[in-house]
Structure 1
């Protein structure tokens, strides 16, 4: 190679390192984030400016109303006097004093104040009972305590004799023994026989037997009728009871609709289509007005329990369709694999098919539960005083006549917290199941 060629070749090599330089301003820090997320193109930039203006416009009008809120007053007129004296008559200020004055009524309704400890304890027992079911890290031995929690909660809320929930809980023991005995014959016979025997026990034996035992050994607490329930306590009682009961019932309906048995399939389809085809408010009026006509004369069936039953059936119809979609999404090879292992129908469903179907159905199930919990406000139309119904009672007093937005903001915030918690748990469960499948 000649010297000229060597000089030309060496001209492409750097003999010294360049000094480190700072990156361009547009490629680092806040400017980079703004350019990539808010102003990547001229169209996105215009939309960002419009959105920021809309946010500023809303906050500039709502912000002072919140920030100037008055919390210490005994009436709406006193709130206005405080506002005029401190901020001026034209100032925007919320009268949150109605929340501090009536929060007990919004939470507990007309429940006796001396018994507030009972729904409070029931709420924490509900959370403790749900924990072993919702979180796998808690030992499974606590599931037995979780199964007893609903009966303890019923006793705390309604009171009366302790023997009534005790003998109702005994029905599950009777059902378990019946299923074990009849299971030696045939699984379908065991299922039908268990349902019939437990239903007859609850209908004709449990309550009279509890009353007889109570006459000999009276143990109980003050009975509180459900007519005194109200506020968020009523919404939680109806919503959580319907959620807990509708999930297993919805799964059974989904399996029944997917069954090859003609009668079982058609009955499930008829139930689901009839329930879904009628608005919930109509079913609530049915529970309130018509259900007693189908009961024996002289029967006094608690209105809240009637509503819980009707809302449970309504939710179960929707859950059944969500779970049926999950069953349809399970690959056919999973069913064939269960058959190749020699598993019968119930074993294959319990061990292989249903776990996969329920995992697929988690978003739809939680979405149905959130809608159900919000729909508990419809009970106001049949005379039950949920939080929205109590706003009318609060405004009926001379002290708070004319107040609106403060009550609705508080109620909306409480419902948002509950629904947001359910949504976050759904996301947590989805992430957990994805990790376990890797």
Structure 2
């Protein structure tokens, strides 16, 4: 706090002395603008009513001009510089001087009481309960004005009773506006706390996801490298041919681990959460096409999905496209995303030579094909299901199809589709 300039320190202390909240100043300034607009409207309505019964409205119009000019000037300042609301002593001075000028011009009257009641509300919004001494001053001054009116004019008894009750409105209006100010700041506090809780939860979820990604990809590859490297010294002495194979395995595994780490880092950088799932898949497909020189056509419905589902779907898309480039011998891939009730269906297919799909995908791991097994595991983690069709499954169509069914949220109209 000591490092702040006096003006910034005062701004923080006046708006929220205990717990400064970003956005509180703008909220209080907006509430103050609303009060000023209400006062301007109420003053104009009173003037219209008074002009109809006032034989000489010139004084009335002059007082209204002062009230309107001051109110408009304050509104302009708050619109341009909301932080000015923390300088409430300046508002107090301007409002009291303007109120005194209106009282002197009109000897009281509806414009004076409307303006001064609005002043009490402005003080309550800008300063809160700290404005109570000003409300007391306003009430005393208003009683003096009421007494002056009653003594100067022949005021009927019923109207005199009404006039003596008007000054009590200052305290009531001030308390109401101070309560509204406290409610606005409390609401901003609660909103900020909720946002921080959401951010903490998102950070924790992201850390968990990254840890799982490292375990499912890089850690498994490195473990395999460790086994191969452990066996290599003995194989060099006893079985040179096996040693050569192990060396190739280590080299290939190192490249795979590097590729997986690079892909994971790319995923962390590339997944723009402001983009929709369809846009994120489209970007992944375009990057894959540029990198591999293969063609990728997409037909993607704008399906909303929870953050964990979004991450796993993107990982499955990238893994499936990676398999197409590495193993299928295809020249063309198609990626479709549609909604079926409460489920999204993602299909990645290619025109490659295909392969024989075992009844249990876990059998592929025995042959070293961990990618499909990993995609199936990712589908299960989000409550989804993944199937692979290839070879005889597709008949004359040929190629390979990877189909994922996963939970989905609300979807945009079917006319909103991304096509390339």
TM score, norm. by length of structure 1:
0.21
**Which structure has greater strand proportion?**
2
More helix by share: 1
Q: State the structure with bigger RCO (CA 8 A, min sep 6), 1 or 2.
A: 1
In terms of Rg, which structure is larger?
A: 2
